[in-house]
A and B are shown apart, each in its own frame.
Chain A
Amino acid sequence: MTSKRDIIFKEFDFSKKPELKTDLLHTIQQAIKSAVSQRDPAMQWIWQPSINAIDDMCAAAEDPTDVVLIGFSLAPEMIYAMGLKPVCPEGLSFLCPTEYLIPYIDESHKAFIPDHLCSFLSGSIGMAISNAIPKPVAIVHTSQPCDNSLAQSTALADFYGVEPYIIDSPYYDNDEAYDYFTAQIKEGFRYLEQMTGKKLDIDRFREVMERSQRAHELVHEINELKKKKPCPIPTGAILRQVSIGMYGQTGSEHLVRWLEKHLEDARERARKGIGGQHEEKIRTAWIYAWPSFEWTVYDWLGKKYGAIPVIFQASEYFYTPKSSGDFDELCRSLAIRILSCPMGRSSRGHLDYFVRDSAYWCKEWSIDAAIFAGHLQCKANWSVAQITKEVLMDELGVPLLSFVVDALDPRVTSTEQMLGYLEPFLEMVAENKQLEQIG
């Protein structure tokens, strides 16, 4: 359909229900590879983290003997260190094409999972109870970032009949809190050894942590480059790929290779003084959520307003200390790294984390406009939106747009509705910038 905006948006037809018992993982794999193959060949590398994620999960499903289910804010270093295969169910919800995902969300609701549970998680529960996810030998979960995650782990452990290991996330960020988390990581290794019969190889753990550390260093360097004007990233879509890699693949070699490519590309663009596909006029920070059922919208915002996403909360990793040495140090470093991950950091603790992180990004990355595309089921973050709005305006003069959306489900807020919020806001921001320039 060509809208009055002269842009083609996806049309969804949910009346045709796909077969829930199909090989979902390979269906997702095909869909991702097909979508990426239609992109400009010079840009296709950008989507490699999505391809890696689904390839890894398909490989795990083909030989499910060592599959461990993990929560998305746990990160997979522990599982890699044990030579096991991590599968993150909510990662699948994200990778799944919308038209395939929706029936799984509905399936979970039929089984009494509430419709206000985060769709990333209800979708994954729907997949589990439809036998689309391999049965794990172990489940490791954390209590961060929110109640949704806590509820999901209980449901999955019950469904699979697997005793889970819970790593409880503290509220605070201090030495005592890190000690608490570290002790549980050590217990978590013992649990994995018990459940799988495998032994932790300390050398492999060290290598995994070195790669994880390297990934964090690379993201840090890339993020520093994003401060330049124009922002030297090829497209806003790369921000989402960073988050896919950093949530699900830290400790792997392929993530390090991809981030090195990303950094090299960003350096080159910075050296040449160029940004992405569209001229940068408005620098935006997506401080919470990024609706992913329709990617065209971001291109459209770039084309029409020069509105370039510079910050996306889930790809902004705070630099963590170096990890080397003995088992204790490695576990402590991993604890700090997990507790510092986006969402984990901002949702489990005091609301100040969300507010101050948002203000920090807006200030340091010279943001013109902040956007809170509030994922409907995210109670912890929706309770911070107004305070963040007040702080950004009072301290920095940065306006914040907040609106309700389900990041995965267009039945809550459609692309058209979303643009109905975004367009007048960006027009106002553009007008204000012009007035500022006039003086």
Chain B
Amino acid sequence: MEALDRLEALVSENPNSAAKAWKDDGKKILGYWCSYIPQELMYAAHLFPYRIRGTGARGTARADVYMAAVCNCTYPRAALELAFDGTYDFIDGMIGANECDHGRRAYEIWVEKKAIPFHHFLFVPHKVGETALKEFEKELLNLKVHLENRFHTFITDDALFNSIRLYNENRVLLRTLQACLKEEQPLITGSELNTAIVAGVCTPPEQYNQLLNQLLEGLKHREPINRPRARLMIYGWVGDNSGFHRLVEDVGGLVVADNCCYGTRDFWEPVEAGGDPLKGIARSYLYRPACARMMGELNSRLAYAKNMIREFAVDGVLVTRHQFCDIHGSEAFSLKRHENELSVPISAPLIQEYIGEDAGRLRTRIEAFIEQIESN
């Protein structure tokens, strides 16, 4: 399918064709680190929000000088490597956040060691609640003013509403695509959908909406896939590509739901479109389905997982993380404790690296888990 091929190309190239075209038009691109940094705000300032990823990195030798490989995640190390080798020279600025210790430090080292025309650190509260919301509103207002001053623009409420509308359209389309996976024999695979989701962080929203519409249209002319051996949910962190989803499909499984970054959490709820748009963005981002970085929110994450399991007829949950990820890593402790409540088998944690993925080992582990489900 042409739309899928184009989405795949957008995901796998860095910089991708959308970024090159944007630059050719003389417009600015802003790198951003975490899904809690609202794309809406950047786009309302006429900037293309392009998520910092490690796409294209073959190693992490230069990054490892500053981020010890003995305990730091390969994902931000790969991104930092691309900063050092010049791959990211096309961005006109960058917004970091306290997403996790690894990502936060990678951002700081980047700013410290490599000249970058604009940088801003967005503090994202680690909890939900009215005090935290007020703080986040202030933080977003500071970011807005900084963007306006640096990029000589004025971010109007109309521009924000327009941006919210575009990104909400993305979300609606993604939910429509996600709903396809409720079918016993869906028209789309989990890896294809994941590719479509990831493309949203490196494609301007209008172009992205067009591609998603084309994808939905294309699906109407497609044959359903074979019934999978097991319908699985991924819980944790699998990174920014569909490699893990493909491993599941290689052994006859299908990822039909997730509780992941670069997954459903990012588009499950729309951003509020009434009232003060900046406050609406703050509330919607803070109160959306919570990442494992959010403290005191375990119950809401479990409720989200339960809902996914029920809605998508999930047979088992694959718990995943990148090596050295403490926040997703420790979540496995609680998931196992709540296995009965979730009513489906929960796997032991599957640990990955961003570069040099050990596909054979992971495939064996996934297959063993599917066999466990089948034997129940």
Q: Choose, from A52-60, A148-156, A274-282, the stretch at the interface.
A: A148-156
Per the bound structure, the CA–CA distance linking A157 and B127 in Å amounts to 15
Task: Contact check, A158 vs B333: say whether CB atoms are below 8 A apart.
Answer: yes
Residues on A with C-beta less than 8 A from B104 are: 380
A116 with B329: in contact, given A154-B295, A184-B131, A351-B112 (CB under 8 Å)? yes
- Decide: A147 near B101, CB < 8 A? Known: A117-B326, A117-B330: yes
- B70 interface hit (Cβ, 8 Å): yes
B156–chain A nearest beta-carbon distance, Å: 25
A283 CA to B126 CA in the complex, in Å? 40
Assess A168 versus B132: contact at CB under 8 Å? Given A158-B298, A377-B71, A387-B66: yes
Q: Take A351-B105, A382-B68, A387-B112 as given contacts and tell me if A116 and B295 are in contact as well, using a CB distance cutoff of 8 Å.
A: no
- Contact between chains at A168 and B101 (CB < 8 Å): no
Contact of B331 with A154 in the complex, beta carbons under 8 Å: yes
Q: Of A108, A165, A187, A384, which one neighbours B105 at CB under 8 angstroms?
A: A384
With A155-B330, A164-B296 known as contacts, the answer to whether A187 contacts B131 (CB < 8 A) is: yes
Q: Say yes or no: is A180 at the interface (Cβ < 8 Å to chain B).
A: yes
Q: With A and B bound together, what is the CA distance between A158 and B292 in angstroms?
A: 13
Mark each residue of chain A from 113 to 147: 1 if its CB lies under 8 Å from any CB of chain B, else 0. Answer: 11011100000010000000000000001010011
Residue A376 CB within 8 A of the other chain: yes
- Contact residue among B70, B105, B293, B335 (Cβ-Cβ distance under 8 Å from A150): B293
Which segment of A83-91, A170-178, A392-400 sits at the interface? Answer: A170-178
Question: Smallest CB–CB gap between B67 and chain A, Å?
Answer: 5
CB distance from B130 to the nearest CB of A (A): 10
Contact A386 B65 (CB under 8 A): yes
Interface string of B131-150 (1 = CB under 8 A from A): 11001001000000000000
Residues of the A chain whose Cβ atoms lie less than 8 Å from the Cβ of B295? 141, 143, 150, 153-154, 164, 166, 168
CB distance from B250 to the nearest CB of A (A): 25
Whether, in the assembled complex, A302 has its beta carbon less than 8 Å from a beta carbon of chain B, the answer is no
- Check if A111 is an interface residue, CB within 8 A of chain B: yes
Q: Which residues of A contact B323 (CB under 8 A)?
A: 116
A14 at the binding interface (Cβ < 8 Å): no
A376 touches B70 (CB 8 A): yes
- The docked-state distance in angstroms from the alpha carbon of A148 to that of B337 is 19
Q: Is the CB of B123 within 8 A of A170?
A: yes
Chain B nearest Cβ from A288, distance in angstroms: 12
User: A159 interface residue, CB < 8 Å from B?
Assistant: yes
CB–CB A166/B127 < 8 A: yes
User: Which of B73, B108, B126, B348 contacts A168 (CB under 8 A)?
Assistant: B126
Asked, given contacts A158-B337, A171-B123, A351-B108, whether A176 binds B329 with beta carbons under 8 Å apart, the answer is no
Instruction: Give per-residue flags for B326-349: 1 if the beta carbon is below 8 A from chain A beta carbons, else 0.
Output: 110111111111000000000011
**Which interface residue of B105, B109, B330 has the most chain A CB atoms within 10 A?**
B330
Q: Does A31 contact B (CB under 8 A)?
A: no
Query: Are the C-beta atoms of A151 and B70 separated by less than 8 Å?
Result: no
Q: Does B102 contact A (CB under 8 A)?
A: yes
Contact indicator A147/B109 (Cβ below 8 Å)? no
Does chain A have a CB within 8 A of B121? yes
Q: Which of A147, A383, A404 contacts B327 (CB 8 A)?
A: A147
**Cβ of A198 under 8 Å from chain B:** no
Q: Please, which residues of chain B bring their CB within 8 A of the CB of A116?
A: 71, 323-324, 326, 329
**A347 / chain B contacts, CB cutoff of 8 Å:** 101
| B125 is an interface residue with CB less than 8 A from chain A | yes
Name the contact of B298 in the complex, choosing from A117, A157, A169 (C-beta under 8 A): A157
On chain B, the residues within 8 Å of A7 by CB distance are: none
CA distance A383 to B64 in the complex (A): 9
- Whether the Cβ atoms of B349 and A382 lie closer than 8 Å is no
Contact B330 A382 (CB under 8 A): no
Write out the residue numbers on chain A whose beta carbons fall within 8 Å of the beta carbon of B359: none
- B179 contacts which chain A residues (CB < 8 A)? none
Partner of B102, one of A111, A155, A180, A379: A379
Binding site for A on B (CB under 8 A): 65-68, 70-73, 98, 100-102, 104-106, 108-109, 112-113, 121, 123, 125-127, 131-132, 135, 138, 292-293, 295-296, 298, 321, 323-327, 329-337, 348-349
Q: List residues of A whose CB falls within 8 A of some B CB.
A: 108, 111-114, 116-118, 125, 141, 143, 146-148, 150-155, 157-159, 163-166, 168-172, 176, 180, 183-184, 187, 347, 350-351, 374, 376-380, 382-387, 404
**Subset of 26 A-B contacts with CB under 8 Å:** A108-B333, A114-B349, A116-B324, A147-B100, A147-B101, A147-B293, A151-B292, A158-B337, A159-B337, A165-B296, A166-B126, A166-B296, A168-B126, A180-B131, A184-B131, A351-B108, A351-B109, A351-B112, A379-B72, A379-B324, A379-B326, A382-B68, A383-B66, A383-B105, A384-B105, A387-B112
